[in-house]
Amino acid sequence: MLFKQQALLRQKLFVLGSLAIGSLLYLVARVGSLDRLQPLCPIDGRFGPRGQDEIPLRALQFKRGLLHEFRKGNATKEQIRLHNLVQQLPKAIIIGVRKGGTRALLEMLNLHPAVVKASQEIHFFDNDENYAKGIEWYRKKMPFSYPHQITIEKSPAYFITEEVPERIYKMNSSIKLLIIVREPTTRAISDYTQVLEGKERKNKTYYKFEKLAIDPNTCEVNTKYKAVRTSIYTKHLERWLKYFPIEQFHIVDGDRLITEPLPELQLVEKFLNLPPRISQYNLYFNATRGFYCLRFNIVFNKCLAGSKGRIHPEVDTSVITKLRKFFHPFNQKFYQITGRTFNW
Which segments are annotated as binding site?
Answer: 99-103, 182, 190, 292, 308-312
Annotation marks residue 235 as catalytic = no
Angle between helices 317-338 and 233-240 (to 10 degrees): 30
Question: What is the C-alpha separation between 278 and 280, in angstroms, rounded?
Answer: 7
Longest Cα–Cα distance of the chain, Å, equals: 103
| Dihedral over Cα of 85, 86, 92, 96: its sign | positive
Question: Would you list which residues are annotated within the binding site for 3'-phosphoadenylyl sulfate?
Answer: 99-103, 182, 190, 292, 308-312
Contact status, residue 95 vs residue 177, Cβ threshold 8 Å: yes
Peptide bond between residue 97 and the one before it cis (omega within 30 degrees of 0): yes
| Strand pairing category for 176-181 and 92-96 | parallel
Q: Which of 72, 77, 91, 99 is catalytic?
A: 99
Task: Kindly list the catalytic residues.
Answer: 99
